Amino acid sequence: MNRRQIFQSLLAGLAIPLAPLNLARAAQVSGRRLILVELSGANDGLNTVVPYRDERYRQIRPNISLHEDERFTLTSELALHASLTPLGDAWEAGDLAIVQGLGYPGQNRSHFKSIAIWETGGDGSQSGVNGWLTEDIMGMRDASEVDAHGISLDGGMGVFAASSGLWLSMTSLNQFATLAGQRQQAPSVSGGDNPALAMLLDRGHSLDTAMTRISAKIERLPRSSSFRIDAGDFGRQAAMAAQLIDAGIEAPVLKIKLDGFDTHEAQPWRHRDLLRDLGRGLAGLRQALIQSGQWEDTLVMTYSEFGRRAVENESMGTDHGTAAPHFLMSGGLSGGIWGVHPDLGNLADGDMEFTLDYRTMYHTVLRDWFGLVQNRFQSHFDPALDGILRS
């Protein structure tokens, strides 16, 4: 470790104190849940939430800027991509909040590095090992109180990376029901000093416990409750999330994913189709949760590895960039536009400067949604998002 590294780790220690979790438990709000929506590949923020009045928008994007018939106006400044029209109801009802200009210092432009940063709450100089909310959620709810701490419905477990806890992946609804009880008892051995074996046994054990509980609940799900959301595989995941909630499965976090946002080329067509699935999927999810009475207790949050470069490239696309807006949706929030749009007149190498550290959003979610006043990100407090969530 050289001097610089030592300095950094000291800083890191200051920045991320371990929250005294026992104290935090008093204020927490149980029964609420968060649905994380990963826009994998890096969503282009500028063509999602469009500053259509800004002449510079058309200047930096002569070929791929959205025309009037390709937009859906929200305010006198901003419009959504027309593919997101299905979110109009949520917007009208005040169930949709847009947080602008999210990013972090020292932007890393590699997909997997930067998604790992978002997943673990790091920044350009450090990425963590554990998922950003795993420790706080485990502190909030003991494994015995939940069916799972989190369930990923897309197979991806990065955001749930944790050395312990019940973080599950479930890619079809019946997976656990049909597999529970079928497993033959493995010969009992102990891990000893072998780290690989210890991990294997630990994971097998947590899984058995959770499966038994979850499968029992899914079996009670009435067959007629099955429904579809017409948004491709994303719709399938969204529908599954709604069904898990309907079945009464206790899991503070669910995770779904829409993949394919790496639009280096042919963006107008590809992005249009992706956002259509996103809009339909989220609108369908909202409808389902309103029907089952769970919408007030559910918060949907999008995230992505980074935004895309403000200046378009030569292939009708955009390259890896920096800041981007994200969506929060719930029956329990104050909808509207939050934060400040990055200044298109102040681009650095064709990139927007972020206006809000994404960890402020994490902090706000942990503090106001889950009532975890003391959490991993409290040093990122910023009044910009105060009041966005009803605590």
Partner 1 sequence: MKSRSGIANKINAFMLTFILAVALLGFPAHAQNHDVLSVQRGLALAGYEPGPLDGYWGGLTESALSELMEDYGIAAEVGGPDDLSGTVFDALVRAFNALHEALEADKPHLQVALGVVDARHLLERTGIGAHPAEIDRLVGLTRSEAISQIIAGLDARAPLLPQPTWVESGPFPDYWLRWDYEEEERSRFRMARDREMNQLRAWWVDELIATDRPQAERLILYWHNHFVTAYSAIQEESHAIYLQHQLFRSRGHQNFRDLVTAILYDPAMLNYLDNDRSREEQPNENLARELMELFVLGEGNYDEETVKEVARALTGYGYTRMGRMEFQFSPWDHDSGRKTIFGRTGRWRAEDVADILLDQPEAAEFVARKFWTAYVSEFNYDEEELATVAAAFRDADYDVKTLLRYLLASRAFWAEENRGTIVKSPVDLLIGSARSQGRHLGEVVSLPNQLAALGQNLFEPPNVAGWPGAGDWLTPSRILLRNDTLDRLADYVDDAADQEQPDASVAMAGADTGSAEMAGVDEPSMSEGGDTAGGTIRVRYAAENFEGPPIFRVYVMRENEEGALRTDWVSPVVVAEGGIDTERYGRVMASDLPWRETEIPVPREIDPAAFRVSFVNDHCCGAGGSDGGDRNFYVDWVSFDGRLYPVSAGEQRTSCTSPNADREPGRLFCNGHVTLSEYLTEDTEPVFARSSDRLLIDRVAFEWAEEMRAGDNWVSFSLGVLSPRLGSVGAQAMKVELVRNNTDDAGQRLLLKISERECYPNCLGAPMPSAAYTNRETGHREMNFVLIGREWDDERRQWNALTDEQRAFVSSLWVAVPDFIRQAMRGRNWREREAQRKYETWSEWLALVEEALPRSRYARHAAPGGWGMSGIQPDANSMSMMMSMMSGTGAGEPMVVAGMPSDDARDYVDGMAQSAPPAQYFLTSIAGVDLPQVGQLSEIFQHPMYQLK
Given the rule CB under 8 A, which residues bind partner 1? 109-113, 155, 157, 167-175, 177-179, 182-184, 186-187, 189-190, 192-197, 199-201, 203-204, 206-207, 210, 218-219, 221, 223, 226-228, 236, 239-240, 243, 264-266, 269, 313-315, 319-320
By beta-carbon proximity to partner 1, the closer residue of 260 and 332 is 260
CB 309, min distance to partner 1, A: 10
Q: If residue 107 lies in a helix (H) or strand (E), which one and from where to where?
A: none
Distance CA 146, CA 251 (A): 6
Distance CA 201, CA 224 (A): 38
Write phi, then psi, for 187 (nearest 5 degrees). Answer: -55, 140
Evaluate the CA torsion angle 381, 384, 387, 389 in order and state its sign: negative
CB 219, min distance to partner 1, A: 8
Distance CA 326, CA 70 (A): 20
By beta-carbon proximity to partner 1, the closer residue of 78 and 238 is 238
By beta-carbon proximity to partner 1, the closer residue of 168 and 324 is 168
Instruction: Tell how far CA 122 is from the center of its chain.
Output: 15
- Contact assessment for residue 281 and residue 18, using Cβ atoms and an 8 Å cutoff: no
By beta-carbon proximity to partner 1, the closer residue of 20 and 106 is 106
By beta-carbon proximity to partner 1, the closer residue of 12 and 23 is 12
CB 113, min distance to partner 1, A: 7
By beta-carbon proximity to partner 1, the closer residue of 332 and 350 is 350
CB 278, min distance to partner 1, A: 20
CB 141, min distance to partner 1, A: 18
Residues 6+ apart with CB under 8 A from 185: none
By beta-carbon proximity to partner 1, the closer residue of 49 and 247 is 247
CB 213, min distance to partner 1, A: 13
Q: If residue 263 lies in a helix (H) or strand (E), which one and from where to where?
A: none
Write phi, then psi, for 58 (nearest 5 degrees). Answer: -75, -30
Tokens of 251: 């899991």
- Contact assessment for residue 47 and residue 267, using Cβ atoms and an 8 Å cutoff: yes
Rg of the chain taking only CA atoms, in angstroms:
21
By beta-carbon proximity to partner 1, the closer residue of 175 and 378 is 175
Residue whose structure tokens are 């990013």: 103
CB 334, min distance to partner 1, A: 34
CB 159, min distance to partner 1, A: 13
- The dihedral formed by the CA atoms of 74, 79, 81 and 84, expressed in degrees to the nearest 10: -10
By beta-carbon proximity to partner 1, the closer residue of 221 and 275 is 221
State the DSSP string of 32-88.
-EEEEEEEET---STTTEE-TT-HHHHHH-TTT---GGGEEE-SSS-EEEGGGGGGH
User: CB-side exposure of 26: number of CA atoms within 13 Å?
Assistant: 4
By beta-carbon proximity to partner 1, the closer residue of 73 and 212 is 212
CB 130, min distance to partner 1, A: 12
Tokens of 191: 């891990």
- Contact assessment for residue 342 and residue 323, using Cβ atoms and an 8 Å cutoff: yes
CB 250, min distance to partner 1, A: 17
Distance CA 361, CA 381 (A): 9
